[in-house]
Amino acid sequence: MAQSQQLKKDVAVEEAYFTLRSGNHIPALGLGTWKAEPNVVRDAVYHALVECGYKHIDCAHIYGNEKEVGEGLQMAFDAGIKREDIFITSKLWIKSCIPEKIREAFDVTVSDLGLKYVDLYLVHWPINLAPDASSPPKKGQVLPFDTMGVWREMEKLVEQKLARDIGVSNFTAKKLEHLLSNCTIKPSVNQVEMHPAWRNDNLLEFCKKNNIHVTAYSPLGSSSTDLMHAHEVTETAEKLGKTPGEILIRWLIQRGVSTIPKSSSKERIKENMRVFDFKISDEDMQKLSSISPQKRVNPGAELLVPEGEDEEAILREFWDGEI
């Protein structure tokens, strides 16, 4: 507790949260948990919340570690962290993306996390796969996605006070337009890939215009790229006396985007929080934004493209042409 109060004094608190359309606040920085081994994620969650002042943990059923995230949360509560002071996101996996399965999937997630409610529940992908679908799926295993049927069930979670906000992930502007024109409760958040090597400018502009907050996933380029070694990043880091990771996270926050870097290392979890005590100049923001080529890390191909089908055509259709 003492440590998080200390942190509040040290950082620009007004920058540490963004306001959602619901009036609730989402922390600008959270801890990602994809690929965090179950036995490691428990300590990572505890360390982030109790020792580093994180307020947001990003989870998903498909990450296979929500029980252990829940154990880390319980350890943090035992150490004095209050449930109402933190923000927990989880996501509905694609194989449960049919209306009659959603409540059951949600119940498994909150039970695994040991919570009564989540702050944000997201539709993980606008895709529906048969429960027995292989990866990549075979013909017939990619089922039509019933956007409004799924969303109506998501809205019920807000009405029943089980989710404080609902949102989507991996939605394009076209898919959001359809949702916005037919829904009762508008999505608060779209969680998408974003970093200087995939700026996602058009989607960000669309979301800002429509008051949908963007959370960036894979902010450091995920575990499979060299983004942290791009000269635009290393030169800016050197100039500002910061690490490449801090620069990449700060670049997002200055665009009005929250983010959820994943780390299982105590040092790097702490390092990734040191983003509220400096500013990147407009000139350096532009330099970072000039990285090329622009390329997604996570095309979602394995989820979408049945074996033997034209991957590029399917991806172009899915991503409104931007791949």
Taking residues 209 to 228 in sequence order and writing x for each that binds ligand NDP by CB under 6 A, - otherwise, the string is --------xxxxxxx----x
Taking residues 43 to 82 in sequence order and writing x for each that binds ligand NHF by CB under 6 A, - otherwise, the string is -----------------x-x--------------------
| In contact, 81 and 31? CB cutoff 8 Å | no
- Least separation in angstroms between residue 321's CB and ligand NHF is 20
Q: Which is nearer to ligand NHF, 62 or 314 (CB)?
A: 62
- Least separation in angstroms between residue 303's CB and ligand NHF is 6
Consult the annotation and say whether 124 binds a ligand: yes
Catalytic residue among 63, 117, 121, 217: 63
Interface residue with ligand NDP among 55, 250, 255, 262 (CB under 6 A) is 262
Interface residue with ligand NHF among 16, 34, 154, 163 (CB under 6 A) is 34
Interface residue with ligand NHF among 254, 298, 311, 320 (CB under 6 A) is 298
- Least separation in angstroms between residue 178's CB and ligand NHF is 21
CB atoms within 10 A of CB 301: 15
User: Does the annotation count 46 as an active-site position?
Assistant: no
Strands 87-92 and 56-58: parallel
- Least separation in angstroms between residue 132's CB and ligand NDP is 22
Q: How many residues bind ligand NHF (CB under 6 A)?
A: 6
- Least separation in angstroms between residue 146's CB and ligand NDP is 20
Q: Which is nearer to ligand NDP, 62 or 183 (CB)?
A: 62
Task: State the helix-helix crossing angle for 231-240 and 244-254, rounded to 10 degrees.
Answer: 90
Per CB under 6 A, 260 contacts ligand NDP: yes
Interacting residue ranges for ligand NHF, rule: CB under 6 A: 34, 60, 62, 298, 300, 303
Binding site, annotated residues for substrate: 124
Binding site, annotated residues: 124
Interacting residue ranges for ligand NDP, rule: CB under 6 A: 32-34, 58, 124, 169-170, 191, 217-223, 228, 243, 245, 260-265, 268, 271-272, 298
